[in-house]
Chain A
Amino acid sequence: MFSTWLNLKRAGVIGMNRRNADFILRYNERSLYPLVDDKLRTKQLAIAAGIAVPQLYGVIEIEHDIVNLPGIVKDYKDFVIKPAHGSGGNGIAVIIGRINERFQYNNGSLLTEEELEYHISNILSGMYSLGGQPDQALIEYRVKFDPLFESVSYRGVPDIRTIVFRGVPVASMVRLPTRLSDGKANLHQGAVGAGIDLTSGVTTRAVWQNRPIDIHPDTGSAISGLTIPHWNKLLTLAAQCYELVGLGYLGVDVVLDHELGPLVLELNARPGLSIQIANGKGMEKRLEYIDRLSEIPEKAQDRAALAQSLFKAEN
């Protein structure tokens, strides 16, 4: 046991306590949390700053407004409903189309309008929000993900999580939904995590259920060696989010739309640590290096470039 401890220490793995004590508590001001915990505010901030996000179709804030749902979505064949304060991908309903007056869920099941309204009602009553406070439901554009990921996702939308520390990207992974994760992109729910080489944007290795894997468990396609399109743009986008909310230790979730390119999906003030497993590498060295930097470039583009050059030497 103690040798595992030492090996982890040597591999520079950050634990939960370390993340909280040395990074989140020091760099993330509590008062800024609402900016990322409320996806509506994040979206509004991003739109104001000119950062690409999925288009917002409408917001339902009170129970009474649920009747407006058909009006909001009537022009759109597909859309996504998500709680503004949700966490861990819970409460997100992805509607991929309509069949006979019913909404088709991304797992194939059909929902009546009533059921969909009940789902929204649940969102509003705070079922998916932290601490159970009343919430809002966002209805937004459903991302048509880049065909690149077609062969390595099972329903749902793969997203790219990047940890941004003091505005500098430190680590990235792409999270691929599986049958087990029910289309969600969270590793602990059963999604596949694939590490990405920051310099090149090529996936390196993958883990599923804490085990290293080579092929997607549902589709059987190889996961490593994929080149993420628009990589530099994506990295810059992630770096930009630092200015957006001012959080020093930030998780940025980006999706790749095959038409619109990288879109910021959501931000996270307490990003998880599984990204280390996906990359097969601890973050300690990189975090400490950036922690020691006395000066951080002002432009997001420069910071992304800094990350790429810094961590190139490492590999």
Chain B
Amino acid sequence: MRQLHLLFLTLLLCAIGLGLAAYKVDTLGLPLTASAQTEVWNVEARISFKAKPDSGVKVSLPLPFNPSGYTVLNEDFVGANYGLATEQDEGGRVALWAKRRAQGKQLLFYRAVIFENEEKIADSSKIPSYPAVPDYPEHFLPVIQGLLDKSRQQSADTLSFAQQVIQQLNATAPAPELKLLIEHINTSKNLAKGISWILAGARVPARVIQGLRLHDGKRYSELEAWVQVHDGKQWRTLNTKDGQEGLPTNFVIWQIGDQKTFSVEGGTEISLQFSVAKALRELVDVAESRAILKGSRIMEFSLYSLPVQTQNVYKVLLMIPLGAFVVVLMRNLIGVKTFGTFMPVLIALAFRETELVWGLALFCLIVGLGLLLRAYVEQLKLLLIPRLASVLTMVVLLMAGTSVVMHKLGLEMGLSVALFPMVIMTMTIERMSLTWEEAGPVEAFKQGAGSLLVATIGYLVMNIDELQHLLFVFPELLLVVLAVTILFGRYSGYRLTELWRFRALAKR
């Protein structure tokens, strides 16, 4: 019954710990390894124009809105003394800058950090209704009819029909009757818009999308337009130049449809230019931003929400259970004797500051000198507490002395001796000298060496950067550590040293 309870508990702890961690990795994209960086794109839209004198300025700029395959992590808008509003509806998202009076050249910026994520957002838009046939100008009507009829004959379905139309409009030597139409499209509308205008004649649902190719170092570029036709199931994207289906890689869709347009009221010499640069960002930051976008509250309550100094404290504190686990293994599985239960963990923590070799050397130095002084104090026949207090005082003096001497010798690492927990050192000295007297120097050194061995292993484990990162980003993994520790709490097998201790019994 108790065993079952234990098993259930450990499984539950593991499930919670691993489950939560898996969620964070899978959904929020938190990195499993330290210092994992990821590529993000810094995109900047630059609007420049000359303000007309004596008139208000209104600028509207379509903005990317949940682009498929990308996440907009950060946005900021720069416009000196401009009022800013962003509007969002089914037709998309738009930024509106306004100013009552402006003079001379004006510059407005929109900057976004765009992160490419693996998941493509499924196209959830409803099946569009068939568009009404536009009122084509009379002289174009037969041309368009002819074009559509010809395309229909040479195609099998909506997609190939649209492709035919595009190919004919882009033919190097277009049919003579088409020339006028192409000219018309090129002057009044852009090609994509023209294609969807023509496709409407066959009542094919079509729309224009605009987007940006993400190339590092790209400057002064513009949005590219593509045509999408709906084949009854989903929107298919077509290149307006050759009718090829599919978007290129690294293409972020900026705007769908043409309800929102870029416009500047009260300005002349208007230009809109985009530049793109690749940058590296800590994966953790990215995940954090994404979590906020997704409305997940987990990151809000993560350790990253703490002030940086507190974060650093927890980076260390979270490793202590691992150190304690090392003690569990060393004592209950191996059977190493140590002074005090968790004293080695505290020594290991001090080693973090001093580095291992120096830590060991300084520790042995202080404890050794302390033992000598303790032996002297022994002769004075002091009571326990005053004796401990005097040993503590000597330890502090020894530490200060060591620091000064090391500093004079130019060994700066000697200064870190101040980071040792002196109360722990005092207790070590006291216990070691008691053990020395009662059980002999052999036992005292055995336990002392055991303590240092466990401290060293604890230090090595606690100093693995990957583990540190893992526990800080996924503190729930401590539940797994807890589960394993609990399991060891019921371990009733031999300790490794007992195999040696009872070896005489094993021979029979």
User: Which residues of A are at the interface with B, using a C-beta cutoff of 8 A?
Assistant: 1, 4-5, 7-9, 11, 13, 15-18, 20-22, 63, 88, 90, 118, 121-122, 125-127, 132, 188-189, 207, 210-212, 273, 276-277, 280-282
Q: Is the beta-carbon distance between B384 and A132 smaller than 8 angstroms?
A: yes
Least Cβ distance of B59 to chain A in Å? 75
Q: How far is the CA of A9 from the CA of B504 in the complex (A)?
A: 13
B332 at interface by CB-CB < 8 Å:
yes
Query: CB < 8 Å: which of A16, A63, A132 contacts B495?
Result: A16
Taking CB atoms, residues of chain A closer than 8 Å to B438 are 88, 90
Q: How many residues of B contact A (CB 8 A)?
A: 27
Query: CB < 8 Å: which of A121, A188, A211 contacts B383?
Result: A121
Q: How far is the CA of A1 from the CA of B496 in the complex (A)?
A: 9
Taking CB atoms, residues of chain B closer than 8 Å to A211 are 504
Taking CB atoms, residues of chain B closer than 8 Å to A212 are 504
Which of B384, B501, B502, B508 counts the most A-chain CB atoms under 10 A from its CB?
Answer: B502
Least Cβ distance of B390 to chain A in Å? 14
B498 at interface by CB-CB < 8 Å:
yes
In the complex where A15-B494, A125-B383, A189-B439 touch, is A1 in contact with B504 (Cβ < 8 A)? Answer: no
B434 at interface by CB-CB < 8 Å:
yes
Give a binary string over B497-508; 1 marks a CB under 8 Å from any A CB, 0 the rest.
Answer: 011011111111
Q: Is the beta-carbon distance between B502 and A276 smaller than 8 angstroms?
A: yes
Q: Is the beta-carbon distance between B503 and A4 smaller than 8 angstroms?
A: yes
B335 at interface by CB-CB < 8 Å:
yes
Q: Is the beta-carbon distance between A11 and B492 smaller than 8 angstroms?
A: no
Q: How far is the CA of A281 from the CA of B507 in the complex (A)?
A: 11
Q: How far is the CA of A212 from the CA of B508 in the complex (A)?
A: 12
In the complex where A11-B508, A127-B384 touch, is A277 in contact with B502 (Cβ < 8 A)? Answer: yes
Query: CB < 8 Å: which of A1, A16, A125, A281 contacts B505?
Result: A281
**Minimum CB distance partner of B431 in chain A:** A132
Q: Is the beta-carbon distance between B383 and A17 smaller than 8 angstroms?
A: no
Q: A interface, by DSSP: helix, strand, loop or mixed?
A: helix
B233 at interface by CB-CB < 8 Å:
no
Least Cβ distance of A277 to chain B in Å? 6
Q: Is the beta-carbon distance between B498 and A276 smaller than 8 angstroms?
A: no
Q: Is the beta-carbon distance between A280 and B508 smaller than 8 angstroms?
A: yes
**Minimum CB distance partner of A281 in chain B:** B505
Q: How far is the CA of A8 from the CA of B507 in the complex (A)?
A: 9
8 Å CB contacts to A: which residues of B101-157? none
Q: How far is the CA of A277 from the CA of B505 in the complex (A)?
A: 7
Query: CB < 8 Å: which of A7, A9, A17, A189 contacts B507?
Result: A7
Least Cβ distance of A302 to chain B in Å? 31
8 Å CB contacts to A: which residues of B423-438? 434, 438
B220 at interface by CB-CB < 8 Å:
no
**Minimum CB distance partner of B494 in chain A:** A15
Taking CB atoms, residues of chain B closer than 8 Å to A281 are 505
Q: Is the beta-carbon distance between B505 and A13 smaller than 8 angstroms?
A: yes
8 Å CB contacts to A: which residues of B462-500? 489-496, 498-499
Least Cβ distance of A157 to chain B in Å? 18
B313 at interface by CB-CB < 8 Å:
no
Least Cβ distance of A109 to chain B in Å? 15
Q: How far is the CA of A211 from the CA of B502 in the complex (A)?
A: 10
B385 at interface by CB-CB < 8 Å:
yes
**Minimum CB distance partner of A134 in chain B:** B384
Least Cβ distance of B195 to chain A in Å? 77
Least Cβ distance of A40 to chain B in Å? 20
Q: How far is the CA of A15 from the CA of B495 in the complex (A)?
A: 7
Taking CB atoms, residues of chain A closer than 8 Å to B381 are 118, 121
Q: How far is the CA of A281 from the CA of B504 in the complex (A)?
A: 10
In the complex where A17-B332, A21-B490 touch, is A8 in contact with B505 (Cβ < 8 A)? Answer: yes
The contact sample of 26 A-B pairs, CB cut-off 8 A, is: A1-B499, A4-B499, A5-B493, A7-B505, A7-B506, A7-B507, A9-B494, A11-B505, A11-B508, A13-B494, A13-B505, A15-B495, A15-B502, A16-B335, A16-B495, A18-B494, A88-B438, A121-B381, A125-B385, A127-B434, A210-B503, A273-B502, A277-B501, A277-B505, A280-B505, A282-B505
Taking CB atoms, residues of chain A closer than 8 Å to B384 are 122, 125-127, 132
Q: Is the beta-carbon distance between B508 and A188 smaller than 8 angstroms?
A: no
Q: How far is the CA of A22 from the CA of B501 in the complex (A)?
A: 20
Q: How far is the CA of A127 from the CA of B434 in the complex (A)?
A: 8
Which of B385, B505, B506 counts the most A-chain CB atoms under 10 A from its CB?
Answer: B505
**Minimum CB distance partner of A2 in chain B:** B499
In the complex where A4-B506, A7-B506, A210-B504 touch, is A17 in contact with B439 (Cβ < 8 A)? Answer: no
What are the nearest 6 A-B pairs in CB distance? A125-B384, A7-B506, A18-B492, A15-B494, A21-B492, A118-B381
In the complex where A126-B384, A188-B439 touch, is A13 in contact with B495 (Cβ < 8 A)? Answer: no
Q: Is the beta-carbon distance between B505 and A210 smaller than 8 angstroms?
A: no
